[in-house]
Amino acid sequence: MDIQLLFFFQILADVVLCFAIVFLLRQLNKSVKPPSPTSPAVNEKTILEFKILLEESQQAASNFLASMEESRKKLREVVQLLDKKEKSCREIIEQSLEVKNFSRNGDAERNPSPDNRHDDIIQMFGQGLSEQEISRRTGLTEGEISLILDLNRSKKEIS
């Protein structure tokens, strides 16, 4: 929800209030009989009721405008917080991409062949790391880790 939408709601509320006042004036006009020279108190009573109604509608409109202004301020705060969060997320994504690229380049230089990687996996398992931990460190799936370890066990059994 942006500020333009809030202004639209404010204008819409003003138009609705205007129509309500016009409607009430017409209803009042229809219900009031032509003033008779003997009953001026009825006319004053109607005017007093209209003044009270007008004051109440003005108070309601000012309360509405105050709440709209408060909502607008809170919306600005939320937008600022979201902008900060978005910026933070973008920075984290950029950092993770840099780390991922560095990790790939480092792995390629350190482990040029799959046999070296397999040896590393077997060595990590021998150190007591779980398949999940090895998977997380190497970037391979747990199924691949399990397969490499099973093949190593089979190789040892054959030897």
CATH number assigned to the domain comprising residue 124: 1.10.10
CB 125 within 8 A of CB 149: yes
| Full residue range of the structural domain in which residue 139 is found | 112-158
Cβ partners under 8 Å of residue 110, min gap 6: 116
Query: Is residue 107 domain-resident?
Result: no
> Is the same domain home to 124 and 83?
no
Query: Is residue 149 domain-resident?
Result: yes
Domain boundary (59, 80, 102) is at 102
Each residue's pLDDT tens digit, 14-25: 999 999 999 998
Q: Average the pLDDT over 17-46 and give the result.
A: 76
> Is the same domain home to 36 and 61?
yes
Q: Average the pLDDT over 105-118 and give the result.
A: 61
> Is the same domain home to 91 and 123?
no
Q: Average the pLDDT over 112-116 and give the result.
A: 63
**2 vs 141 pLDDT, higher one:** 141
- The helix/strand/coil state of 128 is coil
Indicate the pLDDT class of residue 90, thresholds 50, 70 and 90: confident
Which CA distances in Å does 72 have to 63, 80, 85?
Answer: 14, 12, 20
> Is the same domain home to 123 and 87?
no
Domain boundary (66, 82, 102) is at 102
**Confidence (pLDDT) at 159:** 73
pTM over 0.75: no
Domain count, the chain: 2
Q: Which of 113, 115, 145, 143 is nearest to 129 (CA)?
A: 145
